[in-house]
Amino acid sequence: MWDAVVVGGGLAGWIAGIRAAQRGKKVLLVTEGVGTLFYFSGIFDYGDIEGLRHLPKHPYTLFNSEDIAQGQHFVQEICPEYIINETPQSAFTVLGTVRQGDLMPRSMILPDRQEQGRFVLLVPEGLKDFFPEVVMTNMAREFPGWQVSAKRMRVDALAEWVKLGKSVSSIDYSAIWRSEEGQRVLAHEIEEIKRQYQVGNKPQEKIIVVLPSLVKEYVDFSRTKPCIEEFSLPVLEMSSFVPSPHGRYFAEYLKHRFTDLGGELMIGARAVSLNQESPSENKARTCQEVIVNSKGKSLCLKGKKFILATGGLLGGGIKVGMARKSIHEGVFDLPLFVPKEWSEPQFFASQPFAQIGVETDELMRPLDPERGEVVWDNVHVVGRMLAHWDPWTQRCGGGVSVTSGYAAAELV
């Protein structure tokens, strides 16, 4: 029997699994895939924490400021490249605009706008959905005191693809940059930039190379041969395309952290139902085991605690049929909060369907919305499955997922 069975391999599930394993617990994580981490830009958004904590039933109302800070510091502990600042930090998007974030890798953090210097945009040949002219225009608008130029480059390993007219995705390029050969190519290109702009006896201007899809911060040197760690000029990463290289490699990095701590992993398995202990009078039910389908077989997984991190509507944890009433949570059949109206006519308005999820008590145990009673005593709901929040308009997706995942692990 496991101390905890984590159902779902998104951000909240991995955080819960890693923290519980770090505490010496016997943990099994069951996942069909990587959830919505392939949409992760590399930046954690926490939103207006104090403002959101005053919204009725928002997940932040379940936690105090110390709980939220502990989750932030835990991310920094397991991924030291991430920087925590008292004020939001800024990074370039793939369009060259600037976006803020609350927790991001040092390789993305922009310099002070009051400084002066030059951005040199490296433009990999054939990169799909990348528009360097648009990017440079936006960068110049965001940093009026800086010069912006571009350097186009080709990678021999992908030259045949480009010759055949096949575009190269950001994930393809990120795999190149993480290899020893790719690092040598980058080092050579950056050295050429340095020679071009730092010549003669003129005062050297500050030069920063801007590159999409580097994903430097998730290199696990314990598992790979060391690459070139430093270039002759500072390199600034942009936030990711979708599908996201940052999301892909962050999921891989979290998986290794989890298994290195002794966590057990079941990939490609889908939790479908559960067995329960009959409740006594005035007592919530206790889940004894979940049943999963894996490689055509049904397996029963016994646990003392269960953490539900299946990702809500987008992650597939909430199933929606053709009829309006055919909406349900797919593993524990938990009662859901469903708003009367699902959508607003204004496209960029907060959409009510984003609020669909499971209501919980202060220990993140699922509640029956009508009676206000705990449904399962040993089940904790985390991440996107929680009701009453909107990760897009409230910009708090990373914050809620990390905070709830970390807090659930502390209850194991």
Mapping DSSP to helix (H, G, I), strand (E, B) and coil, where does residue 136 land? helix
* Least confident among 111-115, 157-161, 262-266: 157-161
* Rounded-to-integer distance, Cα 93 and Cα 97, Å: 5
* Rounded-to-integer distance, Cα 49 and Cα 154, Å: 44
* Rounded-to-integer distance, Cα 334 and Cα 376, Å: 9
Q: Does any domain span residue 91?
A: no
Q: Quick one: 74 and 123 in the same domain?
A: no
* Rounded-to-integer distance, Cα 274 and Cα 86, Å: 44
Among candidate residues 238, 258, 273, the one where a domain is terminated:
238
Q: Give pLDDT, residue 214.
A: 82
pLDDT at 29 over 70: yes
Q: Quick one: 317 and 210 in the same domain?
A: no
Q: Give pLDDT, residue 220.
A: 59
pLDDT at 226 over 50: no
Q: Which of 71-75, 179-183, 237-241, 372-376 has the highest mean pLDDT?
A: 71-75
Q: Supply the mean pLDDT for the chain.
A: 88
- Domain region containing 294: 2-84+249-410
Strand-pairing partners, residue 303, are 2
Among candidate residues 238, 270, 301, the one where a domain is terminated:
238
Q: Does any domain span residue 202?
A: yes
Q: Quick one: 288 and 348 in the same domain?
A: yes
Q: Does any domain span residue 12?
A: yes
If phi > 0 it is left, if psi is from -120 to 50 it is alpha, else beta; for residue 218 that is alpha
Give pLDDT tens digits for 95-114: 999 999 999 999 999 999 88
| Beta carbons of 6 and 29 less than 8 angstroms apart | yes
- Which CATH number is 284's domain given? 3.50.50.60
If phi > 0 it is left, if psi is from -120 to 50 it is alpha, else beta; for residue 47 that is left
Amino acid code (one letter) for 66: E
Q: Give pLDDT, residue 279.
A: 58
The whole-number average pLDDT for the span 207-216 is: 88
Q: Does any domain span residue 44?
A: yes
Q: How many domains does the chain have?
A: 2
Q: Quick one: 16 and 65 in the same domain?
A: yes
Q: Quick one: 234 and 255 in the same domain?
A: no
* Rounded-to-integer distance, Cα 106 and Cα 79, Å: 11
Q: Quick one: 233 and 119 in the same domain?
A: yes
CA 136 to chain centre: 27
Q: Quick one: 232 and 376 in the same domain?
A: no
Q: Give pLDDT, residue 143.
A: 96
Residue 293: closest CA among 283, 301, 285: 301
Among candidate residues 238, 267, 293, the one where a domain is terminated:
238
Q: Quick one: 169 and 215 in the same domain?
A: yes
Q: Does any domain span residue 388?
A: yes
Q: Which of 26-35, 158-167, 187-196 has the highest mean pLDDT?
A: 187-196
Tokens matching residue 214: 């580097």
pLDDT at 229 over 80: no
Half-sphere exposure (CA, 13 Å, Cβ side) for 223?
11
Cβ neighbours of residue 42 under 8 Å, at least 6 residues apart? 104, 105, 108, 215, 217, 237, 239, 240, 244, 246, 247, 250
Q: Quick one: 264 and 230 in the same domain?
A: no
pLDDT grade for 412, boundaries at 50, 70 and 90:
very high
Q: Does any domain span residue 378?
A: yes
Q: Quick one: 132 and 269 in the same domain?
A: no
In 154-233, at which residue ranges do the beta strands (DSSP E only) sit? 207-211
pLDDT grade for 403, boundaries at 50, 70 and 90:
very high
Q: Does any domain span residue 97?
A: no
* Rounded-to-integer distance, Cα 365 and Cα 174, Å: 40
pLDDT grade for 221, boundaries at 50, 70 and 90:
very low
DSSP 8-class letter at 85: E
